[in-house]
Structure 1
């Protein structure tokens, strides 16, 4: 198999798998019943996966530590979120915190 065909095959296989997973929800919604314990497990799994993406993006850059400005900006966003601020205020507050720290020399 040529080297150009292999990545295209992988991309098509992943696209088909993604489509199948996304289509399974609406197609199986009324046909499949889950226990309350399993529903809680799926909810917790989704939250944990999202949290791991946030932590990974906040702390790492190119396989190494991203510096202190980015995680402190994310922490500022969390504080603003729990203070029930509007979304634009959260985004601007996080960006201003990270930019301010970088301007002060905190990498």
Structure 2
């Protein structure tokens, strides 16, 4: 098989696995899902997945760790969020820091 054919096999397989995962969720007994521990784990899992997505986008470039202007922007955003600044201020400040760091040749 050609590489393109294998790509389509992988895409279809991923779709089937995704559908099976979703279908399996409907087979779980409802009383299991109403348990407080399941709710707590589900809320933590959501935060963990979002943080993982954030970390990959903020601290990697290709297959390598990247400590560039994005790190400075994330640090500024974290400080401003901690100080409870309005979200638009956080976004503009982080973008400004990233632009400034890149203008100075960092990243």
How many equivalent pairs are there? Answer: 105
Instruction: Name the structure 2 match of 1:89.
Output: 89
Could you tell me which runs of 5 or more consecutive residues in structure 2 were left unpaired when the two chains were aligned: none
Q: Give the root-mean-square deviation of aligned CA atoms.
A: 2.7
Change (3 A) 1:106 1:43: same
Tell me the TM-score normalised to structure 2 length: 0.72
The aligned runs of 1:31-70 (5 Å cut-off) are 31-34=30-33, 35-70=35-70
Is the counterpart of residue 103 in structure 1 residue 98 in structure 2? no
Q: Secondary structure, in 3 states, of the residue corresponding to 2:30?
A: coil
Aligned to 2:32, what secondary structure does the other structure show? Answer: coil
Of 81-90 and 34-43, the range deviating more from structure 2: 81-90
Task: Point out where structure 1 has 5 or more consecutive residues left out of the alignment.
Answer: none
Distance change (3 Å), C-alpha of 1:14 and 1:93 = same
Following superposition, the deviation at residue 80 of structure 1 comes to 2.4
